Amino acid sequence: MAAANMKPREYVRQILSLPQYNVEEFNRSFLRLVQCVGAKPDDEVILGLYQAIMPVDLLTKLLVCNPSTLHAFMQIVATEVLSARHAKGLGAPTMGVDKVSVNRFEVPGLGDFVRASKAKSAGKSNKNAIHKQSYKMYNQRKNSNLCFCCGKPGHMMANCQEKEAR
């Protein structure tokens, strides 16, 4: 999209969609986009946009030094991230977005599975634990008209008393 035709909303949308995996790459992409639009890197609005897309925990550490220009802020970000990564014994600096985080409560059943595995590793029983059965056992119980929960005849899983006791 040509810089002359770009609206402020589109500009902000492009800035927010920049990948934040590597600090140097992110800074280059941000500056390239600023130049494409024709804005000056030392403009307070540009510095505000750069600060707005920073991870909150990193931003709170960096606002203590209160840099006045975008270039100074970018240098401080790169230095802070690099020192934090080296303190942990890790490699290239990132902005803390190495992996895509999935909210386990948005994926159906994943939250129960995570709770069940944590309870199992802690040696606790969990009433919300997922009742897993092998495919073979499932077919055997289905063909014999047995309860999927307890394996006894005469009722189905919806009416199982063992299920209610858990």
Question: How does pLDDT run across 76-87, given as a tens digit for each residue?
Answer: 777 777 666 666
Is the backbone of residue 93 left (phi > 0), alpha (psi -120 to 50) or beta? Answer: beta
* pLDDT band, residue 160 (cuts 50/70/90): confident
Choose the weakest-confidence range: 61-70, 101-110, 155-164.
Answer: 101-110
Whether residue 110 is predicted with pLDDT greater than 60 in this model: the reply is: no
Asked if 63 and 14 sit in the same domain, the reply is yes
* Distance between first and last Cα of the chain: 60
Q: What percent of the chain has pLDDT over 70?
A: 41
**Which pLDDT does position 108 carry in this prediction?**
44
Residue at 92 is within a domain: no
* Cα distances (angstroms) measured from residue 153 to each of 71, 141, 146: 74, 9, 5
Q: Which residues contact 19 (CB under 8 A, 6 or more apart)?
A: 25, 26, 29
Q: What is the pLDDT of residue 51?
A: 73
What is the count of structural domains for the chain?
3
Return the biggest CA–CA distance within the chain.
77
User: Residue 46: how many CB atoms within 10 A of its CB?
Assistant: 21
The pLDDT assigned to 67 comes to 66
Q: Are residues 122 and 138 in the same domain?
A: no
- CA dist., res. 126 & res. 163, Å (int): 12
Q: Are residues 19 and 70 in the same domain?
A: yes
Of 27, 55, 87, the last residue of a domain is 87
Q: Could you tell me if 147 and 125 lie in one domain?
A: no
Tokens standing for residue 40: 């000056």
Q: Evaluate whether residue 24 is within a structural domain.
A: yes
The two structure tokens encoding residue 41: 């890197």
30-33's contacts with Cβ under 8 Å and 24+ in sequence apart are 30/74
Q: Of the ranges 51-55, 63-67, 134-138, 140-144, which one carries the lowest mean pLDDT score?
A: 63-67
Q: Does 36 lie in the same domain as 13?
A: yes
Question: Residues in the chain, how many?
Answer: 166
- Tokens representing residue 87 in the block: 């303190």
Instruction: Give me the domain span that covers residue 142.
Output: 133-166
CB-based contact 41:65 (threshold 8 Å): no
Residue 39 pLDDT: 74
Q: Which two tokens stand for residue 95?
A: 């902005």
Where residue 40 falls (left for φ over 0; alpha for ψ -120 to 50; beta otherwise) is beta
DSSP 3-state of 146: strand
